[in-house]
Amino acid sequence: MARRGDEAWAFQLARKRKPTGRWTVAVVDFLRELQKVGFDWSPRQANDYINYYQDAWRVLDEGEYGLNTYYKYNMNH
């Protein structure tokens, strides 16, 4: 059963660090981690969560069907 706050943990687990040092997160990875903690979200819900609650992240690549990739643009945030 999903609990409030687990979506933030799933987001942290979905983050990846590129060899250049840039943090990225793909919606498909975020959705996979959400499934593990009991959430059944659509790509739109995942994008809405990232845009609203993760304000230091911006779209790097707009994928088909809302499967975007985001990057962290302010490392001090």
Q: Please give the full DSSP string across 24-36, using - where no structure is assigned.
A: EEEHHHHHHHHHH
Residue 49: the pLDDT is 97
pLDDT tier at 5, thresholds 50, 70, 90:
confident
21-68 pLDDT, tens digit per residue, is 999 999 999 999 999 999 999 999 999 999 999 999 999 999 999 999
Residue ranges with strand state E in 1-77: 15-17, 23-26, 57-61, 69-72
Strands 23-26 and 15-17: what pairing?
antiparallel
Single-letter amino acid code for the residue at 6: D
Residue 52: the pLDDT is 96
pLDDT tier at 75, thresholds 50, 70, 90:
low
pTM over cut 0.75 = yes
